[in-house]
Amino acid sequence: MKTIKYIVAIFFFSTVLISCEKEFLEVLPRGQVIAKTTADFRKLLDYVDNSRYSYSLSLTMSYVDILSDNVFFDTTKWNTYTTTNEHVKNLYVFKNTIWTYEAPTFVNEVNWNNQYYIVSLCSSILSEITKATDNPTLQKQLIAETKVHRAYAYLLLVNLYSPQYNESNAANTKGVPIINNPAALPALVRSSVKDVYTLITSQLEEAIPDLPDDVNQFKHRPAKVSAYAILARTYLYMGNYAKAFEYANKALLIRSYLYDYNTIYTGTVDFYSNLIGLSRNTDEETLLWKAYAKNANTTPTNSYHILDTMTFNKLYPDFTRNPDGTYVTKDLRRTLKFNAILSNRKITAKTATYVFDFYNYRYKTDGSTGGSACHVPIQTAEMYLIRAECNARDGKLQEALNDVNAICLKRYKTGTFTALTPADFQNNKDKVLERVLLERRRELYGRDLRLFDLKRLNESYSHNLGSLRIQVPANDPRMVWPIFKPYIDMNSELEQNERSITGVKYFNSLGVEVPITD
């Protein structure tokens, strides 16, 4: 059906934006929406308030780490995912058929839809902004910002819907469609993974000269530091550690601030709801603000970033338990980011689950203390960890540990962390790298980045559904999200990801393999 050929059609570009910015947008006969001046385009690129609108340029993805070892569901929680969220339930247990719920109104899959909304909007802006010549300097900056937003959307898309980048076969691996002219309703032919990554890096590098150095009070506006950060992450995913180091270092030369967790809670109790709230625009660690969409098919981080007791204590082991059942925490991320430990430092229940609540309370001055908290900014700690990993892989062990130490000294209770040296790891490169990657998982928990790390690190892993253990081999085909079935039905050229062959296995509480029910 060619009338709905392009999934994120100009419909969104016209109806969503007109409703909010009618005063400066003009609807053309073909349904396109254009701005006329650089001031108009500035307003269009500032359209980022996810607390009020379902679509904006700040959109990132949700449910990504459902497929990772960073999420624990019991059967009660698992069974809450029904109707338009039934795919989450199916993804969690790595079924072959994911899109089992069908209804006339269920016509969009949120991650694909939101990111191609950004691609569509950005591509349209880039084609129209050349006509806004009233302020050439601002025009160049806006073009650069648009390229950053589009590149980041493609980075998310290619990592969720495509196999891991591998230089040896990236040119022959199916990536995602590249859309340059959405108004033409182009065919949704999947470009190669290599072509998508080439577009991402070239767009970011082209943007850098025309961006301001640092983010200002408007953290949603990309700056040089934002482009450097996204390039660092991109090259890390590509396995190009020299370039990843280069760009992480460039980002940190501009902004390297880390909050001391000893000072970001009120009173004397290191408890998550006692976090001193920041506005998203005053967070000094932020390099570019991103967030989940707020609509019926998305969810905030705290609804599925949940750990069981064993995994939680293994991931954050630096604590001691007193005879009275209270805990003495060294790593403050245990009590400031998760909500299973009460203000009296006791566990909430005999069998606890640990819910990631950090961004609900971190940004509570923005009114984010409930289910609508959806903040997932790109921040300085990630750059420290990328630089550390690159140094570790290059054999620069002390330099790698210097960045780990910088983070831990700010995250641990004062006086409880001893700076690490290569001697602590027998000067062994692999052991230092393992410590860096562990710190990466701890610090970046709740950002929906773990699945992408498991793919690039080629790691096998498992997670549980209650007592059922689901074992996933490294880079199994079912680690790649399938494309929403209605999109395939509407666009015959859009090829689906292969999921029929898998090495995923189920084991019961006795360790006995049981059949996969599909």
Instruction: State the Cα–Cα distance between residues 314 and 172, nearest whole angstrom.
Output: 39
Is pLDDT at 252 greater than 70 in this prediction?
A: yes
Q: Pick the more confident residue, 18 or 339.
A: 339
Q: What is the pLDDT of residue 326?
A: 77
The model's pLDDT over 129-139, given as tens digits with 9 standing for 90+, comes to 999 999 999 99
Query: What's the gap between Cα 57 and its chain centre?
Result: 14
Express as a percent the part of the chain with pLDDT over 70: 87
Lowest-confidence region among 201-215, 253-267, 370-384 = 370-384
pTM, 2 dp = 0.92
The model's pLDDT over 433-486, given as tens digits with 9 standing for 90+, comes to 999 999 999 999 999 999 999 999 999 999 999 999 999 999 999 999 999 999
Q: 410: pLDDT confidence band, cut at 50, 70 and 90?
A: very high
Q: What is the pLDDT of residue 185?
A: 82
The model's pLDDT over 36-50, given as tens digits with 9 standing for 90+, comes to 899 999 988 987 655
Is pLDDT at 1 greater than 60 in this prediction?
A: no
Q: Are 70 and 81 in contact (CB under 8 A)?
A: no
| Six token digits for residue 174 | 């199916």
Q: CATH 1.25.40.390 region(s) of the chain? A: 2-69+105-215, 216-292+299-457
């969720």: which residue's tokens?
A: 160
**β-strand pairing of 353-355 with 468-472:** unpaired
The model's pLDDT over 121-160, given as tens digits with 9 standing for 90+, comes to 999 999 999 999 999 999 999 999 999 999 999 999 999 9
The model's pLDDT over 351-364, given as tens digits with 9 standing for 90+, comes to 667 888 887 788 87
Second-level CATH architecture of 2-69+105-215:
Alpha Horseshoe (1.25)
Q: Pick the more confident residue, 11 or 169.
A: 169
The model's pLDDT over 7-38, given as tens digits with 9 standing for 90+, comes to 333 334 433 333 333 232 232 333 344 588 99
Task: For residue 206, give the 3-state DSSP assignment.
Answer: helix
DSSP assignment of 49-94, as one string?
Answer: -TTT-S--TTB---SGGGGSTT--B-HHHHTT--GGGHHHHHHHTT
Q: What is the pLDDT of residue 142?
A: 98
The model's pLDDT over 303-333, given as tens digits with 9 standing for 90+, comes to 888 888 889 888 999 888 888 877 788 999 9
DSSP assignment of 291-359, as one string?
Answer: B---STT---GGGT-EEEHHHHHHHS--EEE-TTSBEEESBTHHHHHBSSB-TTSBBSSSS-EEEB-HH
Query: What's the gap between Cα 515 and its chain centre?
Result: 32
For domain 216-292+299-457, the CATH class is: mainly alpha
Is pLDDT at 508 greater than 90 in this prediction?
A: yes
């065919």: which residue's tokens?
A: 187
The model's pLDDT over 264-298, given as tens digits with 9 standing for 90+, comes to 998 778 888 888 888 888 899 999 998 875 543 44
Mean pLDDT value across residues 84-107: 92
Instruction: State the Cα–Cα distance between residues 397 and 382, nearest whole angstrom.
Output: 18
